[in-house]
Chains A and B, each alone.
Chain A
Amino acid sequence: AQRVTQPEKLLSVFKGAPVELKCNYSYSGSPELFWYVQYSRQRLQLLLRHISRESIKGFTADLNKGETSFHLKKPFAQEEDSAMYYCALRGQGAQKLVFGQGTRLTINP
Chain B
Amino acid sequence: NAGVTQTPKFQVLKTGQSMTLQCAQDMNHNSMYWYRQDPGMGLRLIYYSASEGTTDKGEVPNGYNVSRLNKREFSLRLESAAPSQTSVYFCASSEWGSGNTEAFFGQGTRLTVV
Q: Does A97 contact B (CB under 8 A)?
A: yes
Q: In the complex, how many residues of chain A place their beta carbon closer than 8 angstroms to a beta carbon of chain B? A: 21
In the complex, which residues of chain B have a beta carbon less than 8 angstroms from the beta carbon of A101? Answer: 40-42
Tell me how far the C-beta of B37 lies from the nearest C-beta in chain A, rounded to whole angstroms. 8
> By the criterion CB–CB under 8 Å, are A86 and B43 in contact?
yes
In the complex, which residues of chain B have a beta carbon less than 8 angstroms from the beta carbon of A51? Answer: 101
Q: Does B105 contact A (CB under 8 A)?
A: yes
Q: A49-B102, A97-B92 are in contact. Are A43 and B45 (CB under 8 A)?
A: no
| CB 8 Å contact bits of A40-66 with B (1 = contact, 0 = none) | 000111100101000000000000000
Q: Does B33 contact A (CB under 8 A)?
A: yes
Of residues 51 through 109 on chain A, the ones whose CB sits less than 8 Å from some CB of chain B are: 51, 86, 88, 90, 95-102
CA distance A51 to B42 in the complex (A): 23
> By the criterion CB–CB under 8 Å, are B101 and A49 in contact?
yes
CA distance A96 to B46 in the complex (A): 11
| CB 8 Å contact bits of B2-14 with A (1 = contact, 0 = none) | 0000000000000
CA distance A51 to B35 in the complex (A): 24
> By the criterion CB–CB under 8 Å, are A95 and B107 in contact?
no
Q: Which of B31, B59, B90, B96 contacts A44 (CB 8 A)?
A: B90
Q: A32-B101, A43-B105, A44-B90 are in contact. Are A99 and B40 (CB under 8 A)?
A: no
> By the criterion CB–CB under 8 Å, are A97 and B101 in contact?
no
Kindly report which residue of chain A lies nearest to residue B31, judged by CB atoms.
A95
Counting chain B CB atoms within 10 Å of each CB, which of A6, A9, A44, A51 scores highest?
A44
Q: Does B61 contact A (CB under 8 A)?
A: no
Q: Residues of A at under 8 Å CB distance from B?
A: 6, 9, 32, 34, 43-46, 49, 51, 86, 88, 90, 95-102
10 tightest A-B CB contacts, nearest first: A101-B42, A99-B43, A95-B50, A44-B105, A102-B42, A43-B105, A46-B102, A43-B107, A95-B31, A99-B42
